[in-house]
Each structure stands twice: as C-alpha cells, then as structure tokens.
Amino acid sequence: MPKSKSKRITRQPPPKAKPKVSPPWIGALFFTLIASGVIIIVTHYIGSFPNGTQPFQLWLGLGLIAGSFVVATQWH
C-alpha cells in the first residue's frame, strides 16, 4: 500500500561537518615545548647550567610546559 503524502519526509538534514585537521607543526611545537621545559628543569636540578642554578630557570621550564598545554588545546 502506498504511503500517504503527509507521512513522506520532505526535509533532509544538513550534511555532517568535516572534522578539523590541524597543521602538522602544531604537534611538533607541542612536543618541542614540553621536551625543552623538562630538559631545563632537569638540568637545573643537576646543576649543569654555566651560571649556576637560578630560580627563573624553574619558572622558564614550567612556563614552557604550560605553553605546551595551551598549544595542545589547538591540536585536532
């Protein structure tokens, strides 16, 4: 038996949006920032900096690690 005209679907849903693709340098920047932050903190505790250990070295390392988490939010 044919369907009545009132039960036919006349509206189509919009097509699904394509997922965003981030540029490849975002991943490289993330890993570079986190690795350099860890290296700075480790070398601070080892004491192998030429000027000795300074408190700003820890803040720099933590800042680089925090920056890597900010970059990670842009990674799709």
pLDDT of the residue at 13? 85
> 10-61 pLDDT, tens per residue?
788 888 999 889 999 999 999 999 999 999 999 999 988 788 888 899 999 9
Spans of all domains in the chain: 23-59
> 52-66 pLDDT, tens per residue?
888 899 999 999 999
pLDDT of the residue at 59? 96
Which own/partner contact pairs does 66-75 have at CB distance under 8 Å and 24+ positions apart?
A: 67/33, 67/37, 68/29, 68/30, 68/31, 68/33, 68/34, 68/37, 71/26, 71/29, 71/30, 71/33, 72/30, 74/22, 74/26, 75/22, 75/26, 75/27, 75/30
Residue 6 reports pLDDT greater than 80 = no
pLDDT of the residue at 53? 82
